[in-house]
Structure 1
Amino acid sequence: MEKKAVIAMSGGVDSSVAALLVQQCGYEAIGVTLKLHTNEDAGISREKTCCSLDDVNDARSVAARLGMPFYVFNFTDSFRQEVMDRFVRAYERGETPNPCIDCNRYIKFRKLMQRAREIGYDYVATGHYARVEQDVETGRWLLKKGLDHTKDQSYVLYSLTQGELSRLLLPLGGLTKERVRQIAEENGFVNAKKHDSQDICFVPDGDYAAFIERYAGTKFQPGPFVGTHGEVYGKHRGIIHYTVGQRKGLGLSFPQPMYVCGIDTARNEVVLGKHEELFSRELTARDINLISREMISGPLRVKAKVRYRHAEQPATVLQTGPDELRVTFDEPQRAVTKGQALVLYEGDTVVGGGTIQ
């Protein structure tokens, strides 16, 4: 029986090479680009987004070169509800979310896998730098880091379920970015030298606060900057303009550098403190997903990351409830931020993760 796969093609070089490799492995494959939002949703010009017509055309060009059928799936309603709405609500709660994780969780895997199954395709492939393996002893599906640790994207995939991992193909997991570009050039792909997108697709100018106010249709009110001991320093511009660890853009002058140490939404306060006040050894995470095991039955030694660009750190994790983890780091960590993802590793294997509370 022929294996069939849907390739999620963004128009970038990674997903294009993933499509080629899946095809070379003998899968009957189709290429799919996801239409996730109209630019008017984000209040930006039609040209300025990674989901632009140029990206669709690049994906279509590669699919045509591979002799692969190509389609565009319109997921704009789901993306607005599951990603953009969650992003705005998180900022309103004084959190700093990672919308790429929600996009992977609710759209690229849950929604796309559902659609793939509806049209008779067993697998979904993406251009993420990570690996999926099955444990021969336990039968559990494991998520592992990409072999090119400078490009590893396992952090943003920690929410994958066993069912999703069993149907996921990640053909770039064993390759370097340099090799991927080389393969693209060897095959004459139009996007072989295309730059990677760095921005959140619906906030390409990086001005989160302006986007949130446009999207929510409300103006966030100024309030007090306060110190960690209750001192009042001045007025902030609205809580959505700030995140833990921020130093620039406060509009205040101090004898020493001051940083955002917390956001109190109930009081509409932004809490400022010295650099040493940014550090903490413990955190709680909820909305958890465990991959390498069903549950964490006792204290477990792990390496933990508290944001995408964070170097993983030694820690001990304890599962304190069905949907709660408590992590204690060996050394205090800087700017642990509500709303970001905690991801736990044993070696190259993702144990699981959750949302920092």
Structure 2
Amino acid sequence: MPASVKLAVAAIGVLSALLLGMMFAVTGGDSDAASSAKQPGTSACVAGSGLRAGTVPNGWEADILAAAQTSGVPGPILAAQLEVESGWNPNAASTKGARGLAQFLPGTWQAYGQGSPTDPKAAIAAQGKYMAALLQAVSSVATSTGADKVVLALAAYNAGPGRITEYHGVPPFAETQAYVAKIPALAQQTYAGDCTQQAGGEVVVQVGPGQWASPLPGGILTSTFSMRWGVMHWGIDLAVAGGQVTAPTELLITWAGDHGDGYGTSVVGRTTDGTDLQMRFGHCAAGSTTLTTGSTAPAGSKLCDMGSTGDSTGPHLHFEIYTPGSPQNAYATSCGCAIDPLPILTGKGMSF
């Protein structure tokens, strides 16, 4: 897989599930994150729209959110796509005849747009409709290859859906490869929503009995438990501006610090609820954890700040879960005991 596509998958995931209440958290998104933020077992950090305040110009945030609901693609991805397509210029025009914020060609506009492609609100609405159609168009390729649907839909937007079928994935065109790499990275770095954290104290999420908190309240799924860059990616990646990494359930801490193992500043702990799952939280900000081996982290309490230490391409949380009985502080590459965290988290009522 070309490096640019690998980076796109790392940044998006399928933020993924682009999943995620990120939908934002991807489902594409979780527009319900704000309304559910105060419920037991969910984040007290209100993710809201998933869009970072002040990043979308001219009051078009509501239009982006509506398009995100229509398409099932996270708002930050749609915002980044518009920046790449037109630089937020509603009068942009290409030599190929594409026009407007979303750079629609005449034939595509006729199928998905209403009014003029230079009308920003109409362009964003049509972007949502077209991305929804593209997600459906690439679904069979995504299913058969395990590729991220959002990455494939972005590639289809740039190169045409027929090329995805022809190449059974992202086509090997330099422009398209750059396009699918740039948009997820821009979405994560510029447009992913900031979160207003609960005031004061170590507990950032209120967790009800038997329920879990998100390991990154308000987080967007940016990479899944799957093959990536030619090797297995043994966890999931989540990201949100100013993110605080939290204990999903009570954990007995078995490691906290930087072990020089590529995870950077990380926290490892075992669940104390009888499930005996081991969890690793990687790439924390340097110096952001005060936990020590043998300490206990209550459910919903802060473990560290999201960061980019170790082998990391940008700020995010890398989260792994290991099977019951796995060796203490095990590594997935040597024990083969890592399991996909996403079904466990979604089984606890989380949406990414």
| Larger relative contact order (Cα-Cα within 8 Å, sequence gap ≥ 6) | 2
| TM score, norm. by length of structure 1 | 0.28
| TM score, norm. by length of structure 2 | 0.29
Richer in strand (by share): 1
Higher Rg: 1
